[in-house]
Amino acid sequence: MVETRRITVLSAGLGVPSSSRLLADQLAAATEHQLADAGYQVAVDVVELRDLAVDIANNFVTGYAAPRLAEVIAGVEATDGIIAVSPVFSASYSGLFKSFIDVLDPKSLEGKAVLLGATGGTDRHQMVLEYAMRPLFSYLRTRMAATAVFAGPQDWGNADDGALPLSDRVERAAAEFAGLLKGAQPGRKPAVAESLPFEQLLAGISGGR
């Protein structure tokens, strides 16, 4: 039987299109390819957090998650792995990104595989991955790929600055992330126990006598 791995992509980009979404798509495609080669089926759900901005803000005020936000939260809780990509603002992840993480039950991410990505206008922002995003997901007790990917303006052009090309960094990170998704998944929620009709339960009890 072919196993399925569910991956939720969280993109906190604000533009249309956004560089965060472009990077997220590349990471997702590379991971899907890696897992398919390993014999897994892959289901990818892409979440554009900007579409949930109002619902996220309302959730803080009312304590109630609107239907679409509730659906996304449930999807994150049920997923096997998360690809999280945020633009960099003021030397950290975006407020929208952090606000979404804050509406989740912190325990719901425990044990889940995570691949981190960030985008920014200058390479000086790349340390956000190690000094902001990685500590956040470490606090949430996730299992993170060792390689995180930062993409700056030069990564979307033809400039050759001698650095490892974005495609190579994406492939390396995706391979590590796929490795975390192989085998048993400690972050997967247990299946909900099936509720049997009373008559069937009674028949089972009687048959065991």
Question: What does pTM read for this prediction?
Answer: 0.86
Rounded to whole angstroms, the Cα distance separating 63 from 58 reads 8
pLDDT digits (tens, 9 = 90+) for 141-167: 999 999 999 999 888 765 555 567 899
pLDDT digits (tens, 9 = 90+) for 81-111: 999 999 999 889 999 999 999 999 989 999 9
CB 87 within 8 A of CB 18: yes
Q: For the domain 4-207, what is the CATH code? A: 3.40.50.360
Which of helix, strand or coil describes residue 18?
coil
pLDDT tier at 195 (50, 70, 90 boundaries)? very low
pLDDT tier at 199 (50, 70, 90 boundaries)? low
pLDDT tier at 201 (50, 70, 90 boundaries)? very low
Rounded to whole angstroms, the Cα distance separating 139 from 78 reads 19
Q: What is the chain's Cα-based Rg?
A: 20
